[in-house]
Structure 1
Amino acid sequence: MVTIAVNRGRPGGVRCKICGLKTPADVAAAHEAGAGYVGLVFFPRSPRHLELSDARELALSVPMGLAKVALVVDAEDALIDAITAAVPLDMLQLHGRESPARVAELRARTGLPVMKAVGVAEAADLAAIADYEAVADQILVDAKAPKGAALPGGNGLAFDWRLIAGRDWLRPWMLAGGLTPETVAEAVRLTGATQVDVSSGVESAPGVKDAAKIAAFVAAARGA
C-alpha cells in the first residue's frame, strides 16, 4: 500500500490524480508526467469502466509511489468485496449518494482510506462537506452532475470556482470538475487547491486517454 502524503500548502506543489485509466500506456503516461494518484473506475455505465480481471492487471502495473484509487458509485458490499479482493488498492473513492454512515461503514469494512465526492453547483451544496469530514479521509469537491446525466462525474463540467475561493476544510481535499490543461492553473490559483483530479479533460475521446494532454495537465497544475 502506498502511503498517501497530502500537501496542505502551496510550497510542496500540486498533486494530480488522473482518473479513468484503462491501459498500461495510460498508467505509464500518468507516471511519467508525475501524477500522484491513478483512478480505476468500476461503474458499468462509464466509458472508463474496468472488469475486475483487467483492473487487477492494470493495478499490478502501477509503479511504486503512485496511489491506486478505485472509484465506485453506490456500490453494494458484494462488489466492494470483489474489488478489494482482486485489485491491490490504496484508496476507495465514493462517487454516488453514499451517506456519511455508509462512508464510515466502507472505511471500516475495507480498511482503506476513503475519499468522498461532493457535487457542487451552488453555495448551498458546500454544507454537505461538513457531514463527510467526520468520516472520510479526503473530500473530492466536484461539479454536480446535471439532472438526468448518465454519469455522476467525468462529464467535463466545471462549477463556479469562486464558490470555494479561500476556503479550507479539516480534511485534505481535491478539486475536480471540467479541469483541462488549459484551465487547471487558473483553478488552482483561484481556489488554493493543492490536489486536482482530471478524467475527460485529458482524453481524445470518451475513455481514451491522451498522453500529451496528461503531461500538459500535470505541468500546468504544478506550475500554477
Structure 2
Amino acid sequence: MKKIYEGKTKTVYQLDDGNVKLFFKDDVTGKDGVFDPGENQVGLTIKDNGYYGLLMTKLMFEKIEQAGISTHYISANLDERTMTVKPVTVFGKGIEVICRLKATGSFIRRYGEYAKDGDILDYYVEVSLKDDEKGDPFISEELLEKFKILDKDEYKTLEKATKDITKIIQKTIEDKKLELIDIKLEFGRDKQGNIVLIDEISGGNMRVYKDGKSVKPIELSKILLDM
C-alpha cells in the first residue's frame, strides 16, 4: 500500500490490486475553530469524526448504489477507518459540485444584495474548481466546456446526478425530522469513462439544521444511524 495523496480530511493510498484506499481523518473544514462545509481549509479536529464520517458515508453510498446511481464505492472497514474505492480520474484538477436547497453561507456573501438567508433555492447547482489558493472559484457551464473540463452532455449528466443524489440524502435526513440546507459532492470518471460519485458523503460536507440550528457532523451521524 503506497500513500499517493495527503488531503485535508483524508489520506489516499494505492493498493496492489489497482483499487484505492481512503483513510478518514478527524479533521474538518472550517475557520477560526468553527465547522463550515463551505470552507476550503482545515478549521478544527473533532475526536472520532473520521469514524463517524465513514459510518455515514457507507450508509449514503449504499443507498445511492441501491438507487442505481454509479459511485466509486467498494467497501468500508470501520475498524481501520478506511474505505476501498475504484480508481477514477478527476475533471481537470478536480471540481466540487454544490447543491443548494436554501440560501446561506457563501451564497449570501456573494449574492446578499439579491437574496436573504433562508431563501428557497430549489436544488440550485453550482460548480467550483478545487484550488485552495484561489478560494475554489465558481465556474460556469460555458467555461467548463471551453477549458475542456466537461462537455455539455457531461455537465447535464453531472447536474442530474447531483439533484438525484441530493434528493436521496434529503429524504434520509427528513425521515429523522432534520432539514438539509446544502451539500457538497465530488465526481470523477471511472475506467469506462462513466461519471461516478466519489469522495465521501458525511456531516462534514453538508449543512443540516435541527430547529433552525446547525447540526454538528458527529451528532448528525449518530442521529442518522440511531446511535
Q: What TM-score results when the alignment is normalised by the length of structure 2?
A: 0.26
Between Structure 1 and Structure 2, which shows a larger proportion of strand residues? 2
Q: What TM-score results when the alignment is normalised by the length of structure 1?
A: 0.26
